[in-house]
Structure 1
Amino acid sequence: MAKVGIFFGSDTGKTRKVAKQIHEALGSDAVAAPVNINKASIDDLLACDALILGTPTLGTGQLPGLDADCQAESWGEFVPELESADLSGKTVALFGLGDQQSYPDDFVSAMGELYDLVSAAGAEVVGFCSSAGYEFNDSAALDGDDFVGLALDQDNQADQTAERIKSWVASIKPALGL
């Protein structure tokens, strides 16, 4: 069985909560509890066979810590390490949080930035999800009509989160080696 690590960035605690829900949905297949990326090193990620990475979208659609007005530093501090990492042979699934009503032009766009980073580092990204059922104008996390990972809106569609997580986890387990 593959060693899967769940790492997330969070500023309000919503992404942490979703990471825990994903961990719970993995059941006995989950190796360890989710880890906030600001408490992790690149070696922690490299020690895993597969990764589940999550982020909220802040500011103008950026990863937390990359927006000059943002107080959260989680992903901002980690990006240089990720940019120089070799993730060849790693399978990565992504999840992102956003608010499609208040920020319809950048819905879950930070997940798109994370996708670009891990793809450039050589990872195989799995777990794309349809954009059907969402109402937004644009997102940097789109690849055609699909999001590059699990898109969640805890502000406007929290009632759909549990089912979306359940379905997504079932779809990524084989690709993660679980």
Structure 2
Amino acid sequence: MVAIVYGSTTGNTEDAVAKIQAFFGEDNTELFDVKDAGLAALEYFDKLIFALPTWDYGEVQTDWQDVWDEIDETDFTNKTVAFVGMGDQFAYAEWFQDAMGMLHDKVIAKGATVIGHWPVEGYEFEASKALTEDKKSFVGLALDEDCQPELTEQRVNQWCEQIKPHLFG
């Protein structure tokens, strides 16, 4: 069973995680809105998908801000984690997917095994804290409902196929 923990202000992140849950099936996943559930799911799940939008100028979404410091207190050893980020690559090109990168850095520092890197091809942005060291990939699935909504379904399906063996062996 995989916990999908998300925060959503406009509904775009919630829509994205619903697509991920539909791909893997409700029997294999459980959704947790961080606003309502906090980080309680972390105690009971070894496989996690974290989804969050970057807000304004590289900020973490409000519901995630409420639990941000708790992440530093959590041991992610023996946990497999994948990330989904939402962002606007044109209006916020200097901060595209920053929140995903910041969460990734916190989780990796606490011992998580991270899966689900996603190539940067097909995106136009100036900077991102969510890039891998070689700058060829994002640390997770990057979605842009503002500028590329027509690509979301395909990206979600490809990414889910990619991480499926790591989550369900």
Shorter chain as denominator, the TM-score bin is over 0.9
Instruction: Indicate which of 119, 135, 141 corresponds to 1:130.
Output: 119
2:82 to 79, 86, 93: 93
Question: Partner residue of 2:8?
Answer: 10
Q: What's the RMSD between the two structures over aligned residues?
A: 1.2
Secondary structure of the 2:94 match is coil
Q: Tell me the SS of whatever aligns to 2:142.
A: strand
1:57 aligns with 2:48: no
1:39 partner SS: helix
Matches within 5 A, 1:21-60: 21-27=19-25, 30-32=28-30, 34-60=31-57
Distance, in Å, in 1 between the alignment partners of 2:149 and 2:35 is 26
Which residue of the partner structure matches residue 147 of structure 1? 138
Q: Is contact 1:42-1:85 (8 Å) kept?
A: no
Matched position secondary structure for 1:81: helix
Identical columns (%): 39
SS of 1:75's partner is helix
How many Å separate the matches in 2 of 1:89 and 1:7?
18
Q: How many pairs align?
A: 167
Per-residue CA deviations over 1:18-69 (Å, capped at 9, x if unaligned) read: 111111011265232x2111212433222012000000001211211xxxxx
Q: What is the distance in 2 between the residues matched to 1:42 and 1:35? A: 9
For 1:12, the aligned partner's letter is T
Alignment match, 1:159: 150
CA offset digits 1:134-170 (Å, max 9, x no partner): 0111111001210000000001100000000000001
CA distance in 2, matches of 1:80, 1:140: 19
Correspondence for 1:67: none
Paired with 2:48 and 2:17, the residues of 1 have a C-alpha distance of: 12
Distance 1:44 1:127 in 2: 20
SS in 1 for 2:59: coil
- Gaps of at least 5 residues in structure 2 are none
Give the TM-score of the pair, scaled to structure 1. Answer: 0.90
Q: Answer yes or no: is the 8 Å Cα contact 2:32–2:41 preserved in 1.
A: no
Indicate if the aligned counterparts of 1:87 and 1:122 stay in contact, CA closer than 8 A: yes
SS at 1:38 equivalent: helix
SS of 2:103's partner is: helix
Q: CA deviation at 1:106?
A: 0.6
